[in-house]
Every structure is written in C-alpha cells, then in structure tokens.
Amino acid sequence: MKFYELEPGDINLQKGTYNATYKWKLPGVSCPTCKTIWGGAGTNYPAVDLSVLPEARKYLKARLEENFDEYERLRDTVRPLLPPDDPLEPAATFGPLVGKARGPFSAFVHQYGDILLVQPTALEVLQGEGLRGLRGCRTEIRFSPKGIPELLDLHIEPRGLLHPDCIPRGTPPPCPKCGRHAFSLPKEPILDAASLPKDLDLFRLRNFATVLIVTERFKDVVERFELDGLTFRELPVR
Ligand SMILES: [Zn+2]
C-alpha cells in the first residue's frame, strides 16, 4: 500500500475560499519547565462538542494561560470527551468551524494544511466506495452565495508517525511537563511503517499533526471520480 501526503493550497486546483476558526480551544501555555510560550497546530477535533461542559465558555477565546495548573485543569476536563489515546496539547481545537466562506467550491477545499473541507456529495462518493475513517462534521460557517451546498469539515484521527530519522539529531525529547517536541518537518518526510493504521484511509500524523495522509485507495477513488481540489505527494515508508 502506498501513502500520500495531501499538500495544501494549490490555488489553481482549488475553488472557493473561507476564513474560519474552531469554536472551542485550549489556551496556549507558558511552560514552567521548558520556559516556552506555545500552542500547537493541527490538533483539531471538530466532532468533539464542548457545549456539554459547564465551563464551555472558558474555551471560546484563543488566549495564553499563564497559570499552568489552570491549563491542565481545562485540558483534563476535556479529556473524557475524546478517545483516551488522542493527543491533547496547548491550543488544541474542538467543535465546528465558525466564519465565512465563498463558493462555488471544488470537491475538496484544503486551504489550510491541517483542515480538510469536503462537499457532501463528494463525501458520499468516498464512503460509498468503502473508504474508512471519514467523518464529515457540520460547521457554523456562513456560506455564500445563498443556497450553495455547505462544506463539511472532516474529523481526522491522529494516527501514524513520522519515522524517527525525520527528527534531527540533537532535538531535545518531548518536555515532560507540557509535551512540546519541537522540530521542523523535513523536506522529504518518511513515514514509520509500524505506526501506520490499517483501518483508516485518511489520518494525520501524531508527531506532526499538520500533516494529512491518505492511502492509495483514497487517491484512486478521488482520481476515478475526478474529485478536484487535492494535491498528492507520495511519501516513502520505512
Ligand atoms: Zn514544557
């Protein structure tokens, strides 16, 4: 099985644009151990609904939480709403995208690397062909022009890893307090064979959440049905 990275943002292939952010998020942190002020990108859980939490409003605003204990409390309050193994990090996001979008749209809109929007009819095609792990979530985006089909946001599970050789020698291990593991994505990423899921045709990497990966099966269906808006790049697996 071959695996492909979805490369974002080919404006020649993609139709329509949007400007939106996730409704709920964890705050960024100032870590007392590694002394870094940070929030991650790509740890997005659009299917996770924080409105069930009594303190949901505390997650509405993007902000920095100076008190690390309070960050941990907010994080641990969200924890039971996710599968136990799903990573949570500062600035992780939840729930629907809120904002504006203007169509008409291509079958896929991959404007930001870590978010993949899809036309409902295209999602039906993918699911009808038996592709696995595709969950379309409603957004709170205001779509125009009026009457246009509303794009769905795909909830993409964090599974699979970059191969350890992709992490430059000398990179400090993850911070034991906040979990930060800082390195840049190599120009030629390699996937770690043993970590790749066998039950999903779309996923994001656990140790580089902005990288979206699809299987050869996914690419074949997209090409056979001429679904537009995506750019594929095969990644080696080791
Ligand atoms: Zn830290």
Q: Where are the beta strands (DSSP E) in 71-166?
A: 93-102, 108-109, 117-118, 135-137, 140-144, 152-155
Closest Cα to residue 209, out of 40, 10, 39, 6? 40
What distances in angstroms separate CA 205 from CA 109, 129, 156, 163, 213, one per listed residue?
A: 20, 24, 10, 10, 7
How many angstroms does the Cα of residue 78 sit away from the middle of ligand 1? Answer: 20
How many angstroms does the Cα of residue 160 sit away from the middle of ligand 1? Answer: 23
> Which residues have beta carbons under 5 A from ligand 1 (an ion)?
31, 33-34, 175, 177-178, 180
Q: What DSSP letter does each residue of 29-79 carry, written as one string?
A: EE-TTT--EE--SS-EETT--GGGSTTGGGGSS--EES-HHHHHHHHHHHG
Question: 3-class SS at 1?
Answer: coil
- Cα-only R_g, the chain: 18
Give this prediction's pTM. Answer: 0.95
How many angstroms does the Cα of residue 174 sit away from the middle of ligand 1? Answer: 8
pLDDT tens per residue across all 238 residues of the chain: 999 999 976 777 789 999 999 999 999 999 999 999 999 999 999 999 999 999 999 999 999 999 999 999 999 999 999 999 999 999 999 999 999 999 999 999 999 999 999 999 999 999 999 999 999 999 999 999 999 999 999 999 999 999 999 999 899 999 999 999 989 999 999 999 999 999 999 999 999 999 999 999 999 999 999 999 999 999 999 9
User: What span, in angstroms and rounded, lies between the C-alpha atoms of 22 and 28?
Assistant: 15
How many angstroms does the Cα of residue 85 sit away from the middle of ligand 1? Answer: 20
How many angstroms does the Cα of residue 114 sit away from the middle of ligand 1? Answer: 23
User: What span, in angstroms and rounded, lies between the C-alpha atoms of 152 and 4?
Assistant: 22
Residue 80 tokens read as 């039971």
Question: Phi-psi category of 169—alpha, beta or left, where left has phi over 0 and alpha has psi -120 to 50?
Answer: beta
How many angstroms does the Cα of residue 12 sit away from the middle of ligand 1? Answer: 40
How many angstroms does the Cα of residue 65 sit away from the middle of ligand 1? Answer: 13
How many angstroms does the Cα of residue 180 sit away from the middle of ligand 1? Answer: 6
Peptide bond into 145 cis (omega under 30): yes
Give pLDDT, residue 43. 96
User: What span, in angstroms and rounded, lies between the C-alpha atoms of 39 and 74?
Assistant: 14
How many angstroms does the Cα of residue 26 sit away from the middle of ligand 1? Answer: 15
How many angstroms does the Cα of residue 40 sit away from the middle of ligand 1? Answer: 12
